[in-house]
Amino acid sequence: MFKHRIINHRNIYLAGLILLAVSLPLSLFGLSLSVFILSINWLLEGQFKRKIKVLKERKSILIFMSFWLIHVIWLLNTNNSVYGFHDLKIKLPLFFLPLIIGTTESLNRKEIKWIFTFFILAVFISTLISMGVLAGMGGYEIRDMREISIFVSHIRLSLYVVISLFFILLNLINTGTEEKILLKVFEISLLLWFVFFLFILKSLTGLIVLGVVGAGFGLYLIFRLSPSRKKTIIIFVLAFGFFIVSGTLIRYFQRFYNVEEINTEQLDEYTENGNPYTNNLKDKHVENGHYLWLYVSEDELRKEWNERSNIDFDGRDLGGQRIKTTLIRYLSSKGLRKDSAAVASLSPEEISNIEKGVANYLFINKKSMYSYFYKVLWQFEEQRLGSNPSGHSVIQRFLHLKAGLAILKENFWFGVGTGDVPDAFAEYYERINSPLAPDVRHRAHNQFVTLFLTFGIFGFLWAVFALFYPVFKENGLKNPYFVIFISVSVFSLLTEDLFETSAAAMSFAFFYSIFLFRSENEK
C-alpha cells in the first residue's frame, strides 16, 4: 500500500510538471493550477526527513532559494509594502519550484524527455493558433504583429520558440540512426516551422537571440565534434547564415538611407488646382526616402480627406496619432505629393488603413521583414531629429535603462527597497520632466539594473551569486540543453525585467530547477 501511495504521488508530480510545461506557452491559469498541484502533492507526500537531508547535502538549492528571501529582507527598506508583498507573490515560483523539484525523487531521462516533448508540442500549438489569429480566425483585429500571440507576450513566445528550436536541433545531433525516419522528418519540419514563425512574428528580441545563440551554439558544436559530416554541415550552415544575414542587413540599410535628391531651384509652387504648395526645406524628416514637408497643400488635404473619411482631418487616428501626420507620412511613403489628387488616388482600403494609424504603405504587409527593420531605423532617425520618443519602443528602452542607471547611482549602497521600485521610477521621470508619456514610463528593462537599484551593492552581489553559483556547483555548463536555456535567459535578463511577471519567473524557475536540481547523480 505504501508503494502504491508513492507511485500515485510520483504520477501526480509528473502530471504537474507536464501541465506546467504545457501551460508556459498556452495558459496562465494552467501555470497557477500546476504549481498548486505540485505544492499540495509535495506536502501530502511527506518524507520530510529525506527532503531536509537533501537540502543539507545540496546547498546550491538553498542558495538559489535565497534569491527570493533577499526580497523578503529588503521589505525592511521599503515604504510601499503593498507593492512589496505583491512583488514577493510574483516571485514565489523562484522559491517553491527549486524546493519541490530539488527535494523530490530524481527524474530519469525518459521522464525528462516526456516533459520537454510536451513543452515543444505546446509551443508548436501556440504558434499554430497565432498563425490562425493572423489569418483572421477568432475575430481578432490585428494592428501589430505582436498581437497574434494571445496567451503570452510575443517576446516570451519567441523565446520559447528559440529554446524549442535548439532542443530539437540538439536531439537531432545526439540521436543516431536508430531513431525512426518519420520522427526525424517531423523534427526537421518542426525546426523549420519555428524558424519561419520567428520571422513572421518579427520579435526583435527573438531574432537577435536566435542569431547570437545560434552562432555560439554552432561554434560550440564545431569544437565539440570530431571531424565528420555533421561538423562540415555545421560550418557550412554558419557561413551561409552569416553571408545571408549580412547581405540582407546591408541591403536594408542601403534601401532605408536612399533619400531622393531634390533640386531646390526647380520645386513646383502650385498644385494642379492652382493652390500654393508649402515647401519646408529645413525639415529633414523623410518617409521611405521621400521628404515629408515638401509639396504640402494642407487646405486641399483637409477638403479631400474629409470627403473620403469619417475621421476629421484635424482629429486623431485609431492609434491615437494626429490623422494629419499619419496621412502625410503615408502619402510621402508612396512618393506622392500632399494634395487633393494624391488623396483621391488612394483606395478605400488605404483610407481605412490610414484611419487605423498605418503611416507607411510598407506596413500593410505584416509579413515583410523590411517593414519591421524600417520601423526600428526610423525610430533612431526620429530621435536624432529631436522628435518625442513616446511610442518609439526601441528608443524608449534606452531611456528606461538610463532612468534605471540614474536611480541606481542615487541608491548605490542599500537600494530603494523591494516595494519602492515603481515609485522610484515615477519620481525620477517626474523630477527630470521626462519627454516620455506617463503610460510609457517603464522600468529599466534590465533585470541586473533593477536588482542593483532595489538592493544596493551588497544585496545585488548576493542576488547574482544566488542565481549563478548553482550553475557551476551543479556542473550545469556541461549540459548543452542547460547551456541553451541559460544563454537565452541571460540575454533576457539583459533586455527585460525577467522576474517582474509571474509567468516569466515561473518559466525561469522551472527550466533552471529541472536541469540543475532534478538529479543528484545524472549528468
pLDDT in single tens digits along all 523 residues of the chain: 445 555 688 899 999 999 999 999 999 999 999 999 999 999 999 889 999 999 999 999 999 999 999 999 999 989 999 999 999 999 999 999 999 999 998 888 889 999 999 999 999 999 999 999 888 887 777 777 778 888 888 889 999 999 999 999 888 877 655 567 888 888 889 999 999 998 888 888 888 888 888 888 777 777 766 666 667 777 777 787 778 878 888 888 888 889 888 888 888 889 999 999 999 988 888 999 999 999 999 999 999 999 999 999 999 988 788 999 999 999 999 999 999 999 999 999 999 999 988 889 998 877 778 888 888 888 888 777 777 776 667 788 888 999 999 999 999 999 999 999 999 999 999 999 988 888 888 899 999 999 999 999 999 999 999 999 999 999 888 888 999 999 999 988 998 888 988 899 999 999 999 999 875 444 4
The pLDDT assigned to 523 comes to 43
Identify the DSSP state of 138.
Answer: G
* Cβ atoms within 10 Å, residue 336: 17
Quote the distance between the C-alpha of residue 81 and its chain's center: 29
**CB half-sphere exposure, 461, CA atoms < 13 A:** 5
The pLDDT assigned to 241 comes to 76
* Cβ atoms within 10 Å, residue 509: 28
The pLDDT assigned to 176 comes to 59
CA distances from 495 to 157, 425, 442 (A): 15, 17, 13
504: exposed, middle or buried (C-beta count within 10 Å: 0-12, 13-18, 19+)?
buried
CA dihedral angle for residue 511, residue 512, residue 516, residue 517, rounded to 10 degrees: -90
The pLDDT assigned to 223 comes to 73
Phi, psi for 10 (deg, rounded to 5): -65, -45
The pLDDT assigned to 117 comes to 94
The pLDDT assigned to 521 comes to 45
The pLDDT assigned to 236 comes to 76
CA gap 454, 189 in Å, rounded: 45
The pLDDT assigned to 25 comes to 95
The pLDDT assigned to 30 comes to 93
User: pTM for the complete prediction?
Assistant: 0.84
The pLDDT assigned to 179 comes to 63
The pLDDT assigned to 1 comes to 46
CA gap 119, 518 in Å, rounded: 17
Cell digits of residue 485: 536555456
Tracing cell 556547483 back to the chain, one arrives at 473
